[in-house]
Amino acid sequence: MAKYRKLSRTSDQRKALLRNQVTNLIYHGRIITTEAKAKEVKKIADGLIALAVKEKDNYETVTIEAKVARKDKDGKRVKEEKDGKKVTVYDTVSKEIKKDLPSRLHARRQMMKVLYTVTEKPAKKGAGYKKATKEVDLVAKLFDELAPKYSGRNGGYTRIVKIGPRKGDAAMEVVLELV
């Protein structure tokens, strides 16, 4: 018996398709696709969520001191004159950060191998369009949102619901969603 479905694609196309669908499943929470693709995506997504659940509390909190540029009300850096030159003024701020332990760092990198980066764009174009565009950290979403939600559950993080045949080729369409 084969380990996986080939989905009538070459290996690079198949990997790209599955990565894209897993990324969209985690980002949106549900996708509509064919039954064969959904079964493959389900395997990968369940593995990622299980990895996140296993490593969710595997970090230590560290307090660091950082130099941050002082900013005025418009968000521009404050500069003062020293020895005839304009120099940016810095403040020292203490921050608490999560420092991953080695196994969680490895899990994070394994997830990053599978997931594509997602960029959120604002609804309307105009002034500040590029500044408002931001990248979504799906690995952080897995660790911070999905792992605590599924921590008491032993597998089965996704569900496949059949919605009927597709009009064009009569392929069985399903909704793949996070439980």
Type of residue found at 177: E
pLDDT given for residue 15 in this prediction? 97
pLDDT tens string 47-70 = 999 999 999 999 999 999 999 999
Q: 3-state secondary structure string, 105-118? A: HHHHHHHHHHCCCE
Q: Give residue limits of the domains in the chain.
A: 11-58+101-178, 59-100
**Going by C-beta distance under 8 Å and a sequence separation of 6 or more, which residues neighbour residue 132?**
121, 122
Mean pLDDT, range 101-112, rounded to an integer: 97
pLDDT tier at 1, thresholds 50, 70, 90: low
pLDDT given for residue 74 in this prediction? 85
Dig out the tokens for 82 from the structure. Answer: 């020293």
β-pair partners for 85? 82
Higher pLDDT, 74 or 15: 15
pLDDT tens string 141-168 = 999 999 999 999 999 999 999 999 999 9
pLDDT given for residue 131 in this prediction? 79
> Does 129 score more than 90 pLDDT?
no
Give the span between the Cα atoms of 80 and 89, in whole angstroms: 7
> Does 126 score more than 80 pLDDT?
no
pLDDT given for residue 123 in this prediction? 82
Full DSSP string of the chain:
--SS--TTS-HHHHHHHHHHHHHHHHHHSEEEEEHHHHHHHHHHHHHHHHHHHHHTT-EEEEEEEEEEE-B-TTSPBPEEEETTEEEE-EEEEEEEEEEE-HHHHHHHHHHHHHPPPEEE--SS-STTHHHH-EEE-HHHHIIIIIHHHHTT--S--EEEEEEEE-TTT-PEEEEEEE-
Percentage of the chain beyond pLDDT 90 is: 82
Mean pLDDT of the chain: 93
pLDDT tens string 74-91 = 888 999 988 889 999 899
Give the span between the Cα atoms of 164 and 6, in whole angstroms: 22
**Fold assignment, 11-58+101-178:** 50s Ribosomal Protein L17; Chain: A, (3.90.1030)
